[in-house]
Amino acid sequence: MIIRIMGEGQYDVADVDQDLLQKYDNQVEDAVNVGNEQAAKNALQSLHDYVVGHGKPVSDDYLGSSEAVVPFVDATLQEITELLTGEGFIPDPT
- Residue ranges covered by each domain of the chain: 2-83
Rounded CA gap, 21 and 17, in Å?
Answer: 6
Higher-pLDDT residue of 27 and 94 is 27
Cα–Cα dist 72/92, whole Å: 21
The model's pLDDT over 3-59, given as tens digits with 9 standing for 90+, comes to 999 999 999 999 999 999 999 999 999 999 999 999 999 999 999 999 999 999 999
Cα 40 to Cα 65: distance, rounded to the nearest angstrom: 26
Q: Compute φ and ψ for 10, nearest 5 degrees.
A: -115, 150
The contacts of residue 80 (CB under 8 Å, 6+ apart) are 28, 32, 40, 44, 71
